[in-house]
Structure 1
Amino acid sequence: MARRPKPPDLKTAKLVDWAVWYAALGWPVFPCHTAVKGKRRGVLACSCGDAKCGSPGKHPATEHGLKDATIDQDVIYEWWERGSWNIGTLLGDGRVALDSDGDEIKRFRPIPKTPTAITGRKGGGYHFFFSTNGKHMTNRRGALPAGVDVRGEGGYVILPPSRHVSGRQYRWAKGRMPDIPLAVIPKKILKKIEGKPKKETKAEDEDEKIERGRRDTKLTSMAGKMRRNGFQHSQIEAALLDLNKKRCVPPLSDYQVRKIVHSVARYAPGEVDLEIDLEEADVTFYTAKEICEEEGEDIPWIAEPCLAQGAITELVGKIKSAGKTTFALAMARAIIYGKEFIGTQPKHTGPVVFLTEQPKMSFRLMLKKSGLADCTDFHVLYYHEALKLDDWESTMERVVEEAIDANALAVFIDTLPPFARIRGDQEQSSGYATTAMEPIQKMLATHDFGVCIIRHERKSGGDISDAGRGSSAFGGAVDIMLRLRRYRGSSARRELEELSRLGESNVVIELKKGGDYVLIGDALTVERSDTERRILEALNEQEGALTERELIQALSGAPSVATIKRSLNKLVEDALALKTRAGSTGRGRPAFVYDINTIREEQGDDDFDG
C-alpha cells in the first residue's frame, strides 16, 4: 500500500498547502468564497460582496463551480495565488460525507474512526467522511434525523482550515485527519438512507392543543424557524409567549418560555437548525461482537490512571490540606507539555480549560508555583465570570465553545458545586447532584474531552466509593474516582487512591519543586518500607534491646500494630534486626526483645571498605 502524504504543519501551513495535500490524497478540491469583515462592526460577510448572500463563505468562487474540482496541483496553486479562498471538496466516486448540525449524529453511536471535520458553526457541527464501498449515493435530506444531511454524488463540503462566517475555523477532530483511511459507512446509517422516504405530514392545525411532553419540543422548533428567518429576540419571545398561552396544556411558565427563547437567540440568524422531532427518535442496539470490533484504543488514556478521553474523573480530598488544586494543576501541566506525571507519560497532549473558584491573586500564585505562568494553552474561567451567565447549563455550553476553539483535550472544574449553583445542603440531594452532572454528560455525548470534577471529601471519610461530600449520585455518574490525602503528615507526599470501572490502585506520590508529582511506589510497599526504617531508627536510638510493646510505643503515629509486627518480622528475616529471648519470662512478661544486628552492620561496612 502506498504511503499517504504527511499533513501540513498545523501552525505554519497556508490554505493552499492544505488544498494541495487534499489533492495528493485524491480528494478533488476547488476554491470557495471565504468570510471577510462586513460593514457592520464585528459581523463577517461573504467575500463575494453580496450583502444578501445566502451561503456566505461556502459557495464556489470559480465560473463552473464544483465542476472545476481537480487534483491538479498546478491548477490549485494558480487558484490560490488569486486569493485566500476557502477549500471545497467534491464528493462522490465512492466518498460520502454526513453533515451533522450539533450533536444529532450521536443517535448512531458508536461512530467508527474515520476522517471527521468540526465545522465553525456556532453550537457545533461535524462532517463525517465515509467510503460507500462501491454504492452509488447522491445528496439526500430527510432520510436521516433532522440536522443530518447526506452529501454524495454532485455534492460538496468545506474543508479545514477554511474560515466560517461565525469567525471560527473548520478543523479536524483529534486523530481524525484524512491521513487515516475512510471507514465504510455503518450499516445502521446506510439502512436509514436507503429506507423508504418519509410520508408527507399533514399541515399543522393552528388550533391543535400542545400537551405535556411536546411543549418544549414544539416551542423550540418554532423559535428555531423564526430565528433562521431573521426574527429578533423580542419578536420570538412575544410569539412564543402567545403560543404557549393559547395552545399549551397546561402552559409553561413565562420563565421556561423565555429560557427557550434565550437558548435559540444566542445563534446568529440563519445558523440555527432545531427542527428535531424528538418523538420520532430511534435507538440502536449492538451485539457484544460489534462493540468489541470497533476501532480505537480500549482505554483512551490522557494521563493514566487519572484521566481518559470521553470520561469523567472525580477528585476528592480534605479542604485546604489535601492539595487538590495543586494536584490538578500538575496534571494539567503534564497534559499540556507532555511531561511525566506520577510515573507515566501522557498518551495525548493538548490545551486545557480550567474552571476555578479561587480569587485571581491566589490562583496567580498557584500558576507560578506550578510552572504555568507563561502558558498560553491553559484557559481559565473564574467563578465570578461564570456568574454572569444564566445558569450552569449555559456555563457548560460556553465551556464547550471555548474548549472547541482552543482545541482542548481536558476540562477541569474546581470545585463543581459552586459552578453548578449548588448551595449549602443542596449537595446532599440526589436531584441537585444529577442536575449538576447532566450538562457534563451531555458534553461528553458529542465531544471526547477528559473531564475532572473536583469536590471536597466528607468529614467522616470512609470508603473511596462514597468519600465525596454530599449525595452518592455524584460518584455514580463518574468513571474514575480519585482520593488525595496527606501521607503520614508529610507536606510533600500524598496518598492517591484510585477506583474505576477498570480497576483500582493506591500509591504514594511526592510533589517536587517546579510543580511535578513523581511516583514513590505502591502505598502498601512504601508504608512497610517507612515502618522498617522507623523501627531501625528506634532501635538505634535506644540503649539495649526493646520489647515489641516498647517499639509500638516508640512509633507513635505509625500505621497499624499489624503493620509494625510484619515489618519487625521482615527485618529479623533479612538479618537487619536480632530477635532474642528475654532474660526473664513469665506471665505478663515479654518472651522476646529486639535489637540492631551489629554483626550484619559491621560485615556490611567491611564489604564496603574492601
Structure 2
Amino acid sequence: MTPSYTKSAESAQALSSTNVEVSANENDLSDLLGPDPLPSIGTNLGAALYIAKRGFAVFPCREIAGLDYKGQPADVKSPYTRNGFKDATDDAAQIRQWWRQWPDALPALPTGERNGFSVLDLDRHDANEDGIAALQSLGFNPDTLSAFSVTSGSGGQHIYLQHAPGITNADSHLPAGINVRGQGGYVIAPGAVLPDGRRYQARGTLDLAKLPAWPAALLAPARAERDRDDLSDLLGPDPLPVNWNEVTRALDHIDPGCSRDEWIRVGMALHAASDGNQEAFELWDGWSAGATEPGKYNDRIMRGQWRSFSRREGIDIGTLFHIAGEYGWTRASLVDADDFDDLLESPKPKSGAAPSRLAFLTPADCEAAPSRGYLIKGLFAPGDVACIFGAPGAGKSLLAPHLGYAVAQGTETFGMRCKQGRVFYVAAEDPHGMRGRIKALRKARGEAEDIQLVEGVSNLLADKSPDLVALVAAVKEKRPALIFIDTLAMAFPGLEENDAKSMGRVVAVARHLAQWGAAVVLIHHDTKAEGATPRGHSLLNGALDVALHVKRDEAGVIRGKLTKNRNGTCERDIAFKIAVETGGIDEDGDTITLPRCLELKSSPVKSERLSPSVKAALVCLEGLGGTATEKAWRDACADGRSVSASDERESRVKAFKRAVEHLVRSSHVEFGSGLYRIPDGFDQDGDET
C-alpha cells in the first residue's frame, strides 16, 4: 500500500508507508545533518518538509508527561511554539528554522479548516477503554471507514475524514476511547517517529477530495435553536462560587508528596475553578513545591503541565475537596455574614423615647469627663476589642492566659498595674492544652479563683449560634472584666477572613460581648509575611483598640510589639521566655511538663547618643552576630574604614579600642568567657523563679 498526501489531484505524490526515497534536492538536510543528503523520510524534519511540500500546514510538538483525554497520567503531545497549532505553516524555511531550534520535535497537523480534514482519534492508552473496539460497537469498521488512516505510536488509530463546519473537539456524546479532533485541534503527523523509535504509520492515500464525509451517527447532537442573545450554550451551567480561603485550607491538608494521579487531579481542579489563571497556578505550584521526596517537584515542567489542563467532565473544585477529605479535611459551615439579627440589642429604657446616640461636649465637659479606666494600665481598658496575633507556635496562647491570670489576681504584669476582675478564657482551639497552662500558672503564681476556662465553644459565627447565646448569657450574668477568645479561626469556623462583611461579624460579636464592660481579646494569626496587622480583612485591624504582635527571636526570647494602642504608647517592652512546671507523672511514669510565660524585664541600658566611631564599632559587632572574640571584632573594624578613616591600621586599632571601652562602660556591650556580646536588653524577672 502506498499512501500519499495531496490537497489537489494535480499535486498528488506517493509516500511509502515504510521508507520512501526522496530526492536530495527536496529534502537536503546537509545544513543540519552533514554533507550526505537525507536518503529517506525517516526523520521528523524530513516528514515535516515532505508534508508541507504537498500543501499541508505543520508545526513542531514535543512529548511530555501530562494527561490523557480522561485526565489520567500519560505522555501528551504539547506544541513547542507559543501559539501552538495557530503557528502552523507550509513554509519550508520556517520549518527548517523550527527544527534547528528543536531537533527532536514531532511534526503535527492542525485539524479543521486549516488543513481541510478532521480526525477520529481512537485511543488505546487504557486497556479498559479501547477506542477501536468502541467504534466497532457502534457498527463502524475502522479499517474501511476512510481511505486514509494512521496507526499511532501507542497502537491507536487516527481516521481522517472530511471537515465540515460545526465539527470541533467535542466528544462527550461518544464512548470512552473515541476522541474527536476538529476545529481547534491537532494530531501528530503520519511518518513522525517518537524518541523510542515508535512510528506513526500511514495507510492509504490522503487526498482531501476522496475523504469520506463525517458519519452522521458520530456527529454531536444538534443544539436546539436559541435566542441569539442567549449565551448559555457558550457559558455552560453557572459554576458554583469558589471560596478560595476554603480551597487553600483544604489544600493545606493534602500531602504534596501524594501520588501522581492525585497531584494531577488537584492541578486540574484548581485549573477548572480558576479558568487557568495565574493566581491558581501559583497556588498549585507553591503547594507542589512542598514535596519533600527528592525529584518529586520539578519547577521546569510545572508551567507546561498547567497549560495541558483543560476542562474535563467530572473534574472541578469538588475533586480537590474530595481528595482533601481523604486526608482529614472537613468543610466548615458557612453563614451569611450579613445576618446579625441574633446579636441582642442593649436594653432600652422602659418608658419614654429612646435617648439620642449623639453627645455634644464643650471643652469644659471634656475636661470634667471621667477617665477611661483600665484593666491593664496602658494596655487594656473596659469595653476594648483587642487582638494578640502571631505565627503558629509564637507564644500567643502563653502570653494571653498569663495576662488573664494577672488581672484575676490584680497583680502587676510586665511593669503594668492590673485592676482585679473576673476573666473568661474561651479555649476554642486546644482546651486540654490550656488546662495545662492554667495549671502551670497556678503552681507558679498561686490561686486565682476569678479566672475561668470556658470550654465547649465551637461556633460563634453561625446565626443564632447556641454557643453565642450561652456565652452572652454567662457574660451578662457574671460580668467578667476580661474575655479571651482563643483562637479566632476555631471560634468562628468557616469565616471568610478576607471578606469585609464576614470580618464585620467577628467585630460585631466582640463588641456585643464587650457591651457590659469587658475587654474582649481575640487570639489570631498574622499574615504569611509576618506583617504588623492580623490576618484577614483590614476591617478587623481598623476596629481594634489594641493590636499586639507576638514574635520569637533567634535567642528564644518572645517579644510582643504593640502595633496599635489607644490606651498608651506602642514602645512598651513586652518580652518573655517559656518556663516549665512539673504537672505530675503520666501513666508511663514520665514527668508531665506544663509550659507557662516567664516575664523578662528591661536591663538598664544607658540612653545616649553614640559617636559615629563608637556606633560603627557596635554595627560591626552586630554584623558578627552580636557575639565575637576581641580579635574577630578588632579585625572586622580595623579592616574597614567605618570606625576610623585613617590610612594607618595601628590608628584604626586604637580607635577600635576606644570604642570598645565606651561600649562596655555604657553597658551597650558585655564581656564574659572571652567573648564580647550585645545584651538582649532583658533580664529574667526576679519575682518568678
Give TM-score scaled by structure 2 length: 0.37
Bigger CA radius of gyration: 2
